[in-house]
Structure 1
Amino acid sequence: MSTSTKQRPSKETEEERQARRETDRQRAQEAVEALRSSEGWQRWLGLRRHFHRYSLSNQLLIALQMPEASRVAGFRAWLRLGYCVAKGERAIRVWVPMPPSKAQLKEWMEAGAPANEKPRVRFRLGPVFDRSQVVPLPPPAEPVPLDPPIIEPEGDSLGWAFPRLCALAGELGCGVVIERMPDGTGGCFMPELRVISLNEANSVNHQVKTMVHELGHALMRWSIEKGEVELTYSQEELVVESVAYTVCGSIGLDTSDYSIPFLTSWSERTPMEVVERCAAWVDQIAKRIEDCVGDPPGSPLVPIPGA
């Protein structure tokens, strides 16, 4: 039996390191630039519902490289989940943490461990793969289920989420009223009264969608009143409906029939700083609501380790 010795890769030169960093920066900038079109904005939102626990930067990078992605992990992480990356698949590159080496930490400790000189965690683009790029391992492996439940817009299957959303409204100092409203009306947020009103004629699932939208308004008003954000009315509406679209998608409720016509108003002429600001607020507000809602009871999804 023959053995082979793996050669250690040559150390990266400073010129190569600078070239790699410039390539990384360019790719990150391209990911942000893609948000300026309505198509790019919708592509990010559609993908974000699958990756809402990821950083905004990584969401944008995945959307740029593989907009149809729905679940990613590193090569070894997929093995632990019972899957193997198919031969010939090209990796998606995302920011991954590079903690200090043991040697760096030892040197720092020997120098007296000055707080302002502690070696930092750095980030570089590393490889992950989407679920469409992997195949189940044969027995005795037991691949974990990856598909989330599909929620019908008319029904009450999201009843578990409603009290959690009401609890968030309470944290914001808002009351929730369910009352008779004109046909075709979902609800509204009255900032002067700090009240969210919902149409009693609508299904529970529809009320959940409306609650997410109106909570988006409440969170925006909260931040505006504290002077943390300044957006025009149309920009605020874009942020709020984007929040509703991606948050509802994260719990399996598709609101594209309602949301997409509104989201197509995004203009390529919008200044880049406004695009980045709106994207950051969408992600921040959506995360606040998603943290409150949590996972569905008995969810079969297993968090991806190491991705």
Structure 2
Amino acid sequence: MDSRAAIIERLERGFQEVQDSERFQDYLSTCARFHNYSAHNTILIWSQHPTATRVAGFHTWRKLGRHVLKGEKGIGILAPRPYRRTEEKDGEEEVIEGCYFKPVHVFDVSQTDGKELPAAPVTELDGSDDGLFASLAAIATGEGIALDRTPNASSANGFYRPGTIWVKPEASPLMATKTLAHELGHHFAGHVSGQCRGEQETIAEAVAYIVLAYVGIDAGSYSFGYLASWSDPKVFRAKLGEIHAAANRIIDGLETYAEAA
């Protein structure tokens, strides 16, 4: 069993190598053209197109070498438009800054045709979880978290909401286990909506990798690429304290359950 420090070092090295690869650079150049959508816009997208996976505006798709299919209906969202104006107050000029939202339309990749888009360098995990899922589920229950595995239209492998973790029922045992560890990472790191999603995903996925590696399961084929798509080594290093703390909570829980068995 590797030490936690050795696992952290391997994790940082692994996703740095992914980021440096030519394939990932191509992927990032494409991702740069896509927006990061707010929670409200995510709900708007889901309510109008539940199976949407990658959305962008008409002109963005054209820049990517794809075109919107004739007759396709756009997905309505709200685009932020910052403003800055000067007002006079008590004889002095005061700069007023704010933001308003303008209705715009985007289209899912399934509504377009054209040049193939590069895929993220992430490989779904397959294989046995060696009973780890049940132990993680017990930790979730002990934290008062309801574990939901009912079918869902979401394209995600899982998600966390305070008090609830959903894990895709079709996922392989190992993928489901990694996902549950990831969502528990969100819980033990105290993540709530409205915070920087990139930082949250970096922490949660690093926690999942560490937890699985600690029990001898290598999730690098998925975690390295996932981390690289959300973050960079500087963010990773800046969040090491939070990553360690959350991972240790889960590992300590696993050891407690193992001793009681």
Bin of the TM-score, shorter chain as denominator length = 0.3 to 0.5
Calculate the TM-score normalised by the size of structure 1.
0.40
Larger radius of gyration: 1
Structure with a larger share of its residues in strand? 2
Calculate the TM-score normalised by the size of structure 2.
0.46
